[in-house]
């Protein structure tokens, strides 16, 4: 098998951990696999470099920033290669440029345009272990670029796609994706397989395992993604095409997002363009609106409800008060969003009503509801949100 | 003027010093000059990276080592560029590759093969300040290489040569080249101008200001080299062609090398090949033989004397004892080499006799003498060596 293995900052956080990573990579190689490793900077290094840059400038020149930030991954990749060579393996560290990672020229947030795999293919042909410095590439003029937050994951997925790898393993400090947060529900179970779309729903609800950009790219490139821990040997969670998942559970997991605040605008005149105007102003103010619900009201007017991240509520308030008289506005910063996610919902009816019933049985009022093909999200009073998660987790038998 | 300015590790040792360097560069730019800056890694960084590598291997893979070590200069160059951009200057940091530095593929000790100046010339044409990461280049396959100790100086000199710069300023923590070590003779004076050949003699006698490789390259490329301090505004020392120095002093300076030990072999049969055999064996044993003197002895035999660095004496002893009976061998680890250097010697007679007379007046016995066109070296008892330096410094009126 050809496996791309990506190790994040905490997995290569110090020299002993890099040594552990070397042993793990060697073991995969010994099993007869071809291995391409993608590494992040040692944890803390990137922040250190950013603080250095901020000593000189609050908004450092972005091109220069990319050259600065790209150095951390070079250190990790060469150290890992040195360790593997010492262990008797032929390993070669490649910078983003050497790995053929061509991006656009949007410094500090570049997009991968193509990967020239010739050098990697040559090294694989020579049976070498390749260690790629993640997070970085070059633009068409040879300037160093970086891919933004989560960039090393993107590097790994893009390389796995370009090399048509059998597997892309993302190593972090967690075991995989769980049916819900084990700190809320100790009976939470690790999910063995999950579809890209479900993972995207989980990721957008704050599951920190993977960022949406990486999952989206994996879906686009049809890369089998595994998220697992670098600190133990447990199997992780495979994120793959829906067709690859034989038994599709109706509900795969329950997610909780406490970073929510609700804004309600009553008595909006029900004519075209009003909502568009409100949400354009909010977008201009960099407010990330999440759920939006519009109810039919009385007398040709409607009620408009939406949620924003809690830390953006004050800014959102200002914008809304400029637009409207305060008497029609309601703000609630004590809400949370509880969601159930599952591809099985598509073919099963009654999933939503079971959720509502479950919460009703616990006397939890549902303030807002939003559904997609594979997700049902409910806004509830924040103090009941953990209870809601546990009740739903049990109702859908996720601990079985 | 087009000026190449090179700042070493202590000059960019912390963020405040980088800020000072930025101001100094800006000042040179404000005076209407075109500026190319070459920087080393922040002091301590390269050693830190080496210790990281040694955690994994006593002799780390050299190709990987180069990728590791090259990261330090990238950090400094991008930080300096960020600082200059913040100050309102258009600056651009270039890696060795981006600066067009092509080397052979001898990792950790590469030689510069050529410099493709197109990108630097383009940036200079756009009136930009260029900041080059020193010490590094790429081989013809795109692998990162480093130039070995003093590599950033070499980068600067080579770039100055390739761009036909008017001046190459090497900034360190010392003011320039002195007539002798001021810790030995407080009356020592800074030399205003010195020829390449004199500087080479000083450098090979342990003057730490510049390494021979850089001076040799400057001589070859006809680069006007200035060594000066980054911590004050004092004029430094210009190292240039002999023709550029109008008033050639007979003696430019006095150097002291205490790291010397003397070996004497008495009664060597005076036939061809004997000396060759001895020095080949010493060379095979990695002994750096410095001065060699052969005296005519009695009965067709000769006495052979030579010096080695003190810390290589034990190894040299072993080799010599394998070759010869101990009765003919003498070892003396309490010697030092005092040298006077000056291009004026070529055209002045009596320089040597004045030196011998000076030491005789102080009752200092000269154990060995070696001369070149522009240098006279004398081996003396180490305990008199500082006295010898002061006496010679005065005799040639170097404090005037």
Closest chain B residue to the Cα of A97, Cα to Cα: B142
Tell me what percent of the residues of chain A surpass a pLDDT of 90.
77
* Residues across chain B: 400
Average pLDDT over residues A262-283: 84
Greatest pairwise CA separation for chain B in angstroms: 80
Distances in whole angstroms, Cα of residue B292 to Cα of each of A390, B265, B319, B324, B352: 88, 11, 17, 18, 18
State whether B68 and A79 contact (CB < 8 Å). Answer: yes
Contacts with B14 from chain A: Cβ below 8 Å: none
C-alpha radius of gyration, chain A, whole number = 24
Tell me which residue in A19, A78, A97 faces B68 most closely, judged by beta carbons: A78
DSSP sequence for B289-302: ---EEEEE-STTEE
Average pLDDT over residues B391-400: 93
Give CA–CA dist B76/B321, Å, rounded: 51
Which one of B61, B100, B120, B131 makes the best mutation probe of the A interface by having the most chain A beta carbons within 10 Å? B61
Q: What is the mean pLDDT of chain A?
A: 92
Average pLDDT over residues A171-198: 92
pLDDT category of residue B206 using cuts at 50, 70 and 90: low
Closest chain A residue to the Cα of B76, Cα to Cα: A68
Residue A52 is encoded by which pair of tokens? 């250095």
Contacts with A142 from chain B: Cβ below 8 Å: 97-98, 119
Q: Encode pLDDT of A97-140 as tens digits.
A: 999 999 999 999 999 999 999 999 999 999 999 999 999 999 99
> CB-based contact (8 Å) between B52 and chain A?
yes
> CB-based contact (8 Å) between A266 and chain B?
no
Coil, strand or helix at B196: helix
Distance (Å) from the C-alpha of residue B161 to the closest C-alpha of chain A? 24
Residue B257 is encoded by which pair of tokens? 């090398």
Selected residue with higher pLDDT from A248 and A14: A14
State whether B61 and A79 contact (CB < 8 Å). Answer: no
Give CA–CA dist B120/B46, Å, rounded: 26
Which one of B71, B116, B132 makes the best mutation probe of the A interface by having the most chain A beta carbons within 10 Å? B71
Average pLDDT over residues A6-30: 97
Helix (H) or strand (E) holding B226: strand B225-229
Give CA–CA dist A313/A228, Å, rounded: 35
State whether B55 and A15 contact (CB < 8 Å). Answer: yes
Alpha helices in A57-101 (DSSP H): 62-69, 71-86
Answer whether B171's CB lies under 8 Å from B11's CB: yes
pLDDT at position A326 is: 66
Give CA–CA dist B136/B95, Å, rounded: 8
Give CA–CA dist A340/A253, Å, rounded: 6
Closest chain A residue to the Cα of B92, Cα to Cα: A64
Considering the entire predicted model, what is its pTM?
0.87
Closest chain B residue to the Cα of A75, Cα to Cα: B68
Q: Encode pLDDT of B265-287 as tens digits.
A: 888 877 777 788 889 999 998 89
Backbone angles phi, psi at A113, to 5 degrees: -95, -45
Tell me which residue in A68, A72, A75 faces B78 most closely, judged by beta carbons: A68
Contacts with A144 from chain B: Cβ below 8 Å: 95
> CB-based contact (8 Å) between A311 and chain B?
no
Give CA–CA dist A100/A115, Å, rounded: 5
Q: Encode pLDDT of A336-391 as tens digits.
A: 999 999 988 888 888 999 999 999 999 999 999 988 889 999 999 999 999 999 99
pLDDT at position B110 is: 96
Q: How would you label B356-383 residue by residue, b for 16+ Cβ within 10 Å and e otherwise?
A: eebbeeeebeebbebeeebbbbbbbbbe
Tell me which residue in A55, A64, A97 faces B78 most closely, judged by beta carbons: A64
Average pLDDT over residues A310-337: 88
Instruction: Name residues 83-122 of chain B within 8 A of A (Cβ).
Output: 83, 85-86, 91-93, 95, 97-98, 119
Contacts with A55 from chain B: Cβ below 8 Å: 15, 19
> CB-based contact (8 Å) between A370 and chain B?
no
Over A279-338, what HEC string results? HHHHHHCCCCCCCEEEEECCCCEEEEEEEECHHHHHHHHHHHHHHCCHHHEEEEEEEEEE
Tell me which residue in A18, A55, A86 faces B57 most closely, judged by beta carbons: A86
State whether B64 and A55 contact (CB < 8 Å). Answer: no
Average pLDDT over residues A139-164: 96
pLDDT category of residue B238 using cuts at 50, 70 and 90: very high
- CA A222 to chain centroid: 17
Residue A381 is encoded by which pair of tokens? 């009073």
pLDDT at position B267 is: 81
pLDDT at position B326 is: 67
**Residue entry with tokens 């890696």:** B95
Average pLDDT over residues B104-120: 96
pLDDT category of residue B202 using cuts at 50, 70 and 90: confident
pLDDT at position B293 is: 86
Beta bridge partners of A339: A255, A377
Give CA–CA dist A370/A293, Å, rounded: 7
Tell me what percent of the residues of chain A surpass a pLDDT of 70.
98
Give CA–CA dist A286/A184, Å, rounded: 31
**Residue entry with tokens 């990238």:** B74
Distance (Å) from the C-alpha of residue A97 to the closest C-alpha of chain B? 9
Q: In chain A, at which residue ranges do the beta strands (DSSP E only) sit?
A: 2-7, 34-39, 91-94, 101-103, 112-115, 129-133, 136-138, 144-146, 167-172, 193-195, 225-229, 237-240, 253-269, 292-296, 301-308, 329-341, 366-372, 375-381
Answer whether A70's CB lies under 8 Å from B74's CB: yes
> CB-based contact (8 Å) between A46 and chain B?
no
Give CA–CA dist A251/B149, Å, rounded: 63
pLDDT at position B36 is: 98
Tell whether the model's pLDDT for residue A262 goes beyond 90.
Answer: yes
Contacts with A83 from chain B: Cβ below 8 Å: 56-57
pLDDT at position A207 is: 61
User: Hey, what domains does chain B have and what are their CATH numbers?
Assistant: 2-173 (3.40.1160.10), 254-395 (3.30.2130.10)
- CA-nearest of B396, B81, B315 to A107 is B81
State whether A57 and B144 contact (CB < 8 Å). Answer: no
User: Within 10 Å of residue B101's Cβ, how many Cβ atoms?
Assistant: 30
Closest chain A residue to the Cα of B93, Cα to Cα: A64
Tell whether the model's pLDDT for residue B372 goes beyond 80.
Answer: yes
Average pLDDT over residues B104-130: 97
Instruction: Name residues 152-211 of chain A within 8 A of B (Cβ).
Output: none
pLDDT category of residue B212 using cuts at 50, 70 and 90: confident
Backbone angles phi, psi at A388, to 5 degrees: -60, -45
> CB-based contact (8 Å) between B128 and chain A?
no
CB-count burial class (<10 Å; 0-12, 13-18, 19+) for A258: middle
Tell whether the model's pLDDT for residue B207 goes beyond 70.
Answer: no
**Residue entry with tokens 């590791």:** B68
Coil, strand or helix at A380: strand
Closest chain A residue to the Cα of B86, Cα to Cα: A57
Q: Which value, to the nearest 10 degrees, does the dihedral of the CA atoms of residues A242, A245, A249, A251 take?
A: -40
DSSP state of B115: E
pLDDT at position A203 is: 76
User: Within 10 Å of residue B51's Cβ, how many Cβ atoms?
Assistant: 10
pLDDT at position A206 is: 60
State whether A71 and B75 contact (CB < 8 Å). Answer: yes
Tell whether the model's pLDDT for residue B261 goes beyond 90.
Answer: yes
State whether A15 and B71 contact (CB < 8 Å). Answer: no
| A196-200, B78-82, B319-323, B368-372 — most confident range | B78-82
Coil, strand or helix at A103: strand
Tell me which residue in B85, B86, B98 faces A142 most closely, judged by beta carbons: B98
């Amino acid at each position: 098998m050809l496996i791309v293995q990506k190790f994040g900052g905490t997995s290569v956080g110090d020299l002993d951990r890099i040594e552990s990573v070397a042993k793990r990579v060697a073991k995969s190689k010994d099993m007869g696999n071809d291995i391409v490793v993608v590494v992040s900077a040692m944890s803390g290094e990137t922040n250190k470099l950013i603080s250095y840059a901020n000593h000189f400038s609050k908004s450092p020149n972005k091109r220069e920033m990319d050259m600065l930030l790209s150095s951390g991954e070079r250190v990790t990749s060469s150290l890992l290669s040195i360790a593997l060579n010492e262990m008797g393996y032929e390993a070669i560290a490649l910078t983003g440029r050497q790995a053929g990672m061509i991006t656009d020229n949007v410094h500090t947030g570049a997009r991968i345009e193509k990967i020239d795999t010739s050098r990697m293919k040559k090294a694989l042909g020579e049976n070498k272990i390749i260690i790629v410095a993640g997070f970085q590439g070059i633009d068409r003029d040879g300037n160093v670029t970086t891919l933004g937050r989560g960039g090393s994951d993107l590097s790994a997925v893009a390389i796995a796609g370009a090399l048509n790898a059998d597997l892309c393993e993302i190593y972090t400090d967690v075991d995989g994706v769980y049916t819900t947060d084990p700190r809320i529900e100790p009976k939470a179970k690790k999910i063995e397989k999950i579809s890209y779309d479900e993972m995207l729903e989980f990721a957008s609800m704050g599951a920190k395992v993977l960022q949406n950009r990486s999952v989206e790219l994996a879906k686009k490139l049809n890369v089998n993604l595994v998220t697992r821990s670098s600190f133990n040997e447990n199997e992780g969670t495979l994120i793959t095409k829906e067709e690859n998942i034989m038994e599709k559970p109706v509900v795969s997991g329950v997610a909780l997002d406490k970073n929510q605040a609700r804004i309600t605008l009553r008595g909006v005149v029900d004519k075209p363009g009003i909502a568009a105007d409100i949400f354009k102003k909010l977008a201009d103010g960099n407010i990330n609106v999440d759920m939006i619900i519009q109810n039919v009201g009385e007398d040709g007017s409607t009620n408009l409800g939406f949620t924003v991240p809690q830390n953006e509520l004050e800014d959102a308030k200002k914008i809304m008060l400029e637009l409207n008289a305060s008497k029609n506005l309601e703000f609630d910063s004590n809400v949370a969003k509880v969601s159930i996610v599952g591809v099985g919902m598509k073919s099963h009816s009654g999933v939503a009503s079971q959720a509502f019933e479950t919460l009703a049985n616990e006397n939890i009022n549902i303030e807002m509801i939003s559904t997609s093909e594979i997700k049902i999200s409910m806004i509830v009073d924040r103090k009941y949100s953990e209870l809601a998660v546990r009740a739903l987790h049990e109702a859908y038998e996720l601990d079985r």
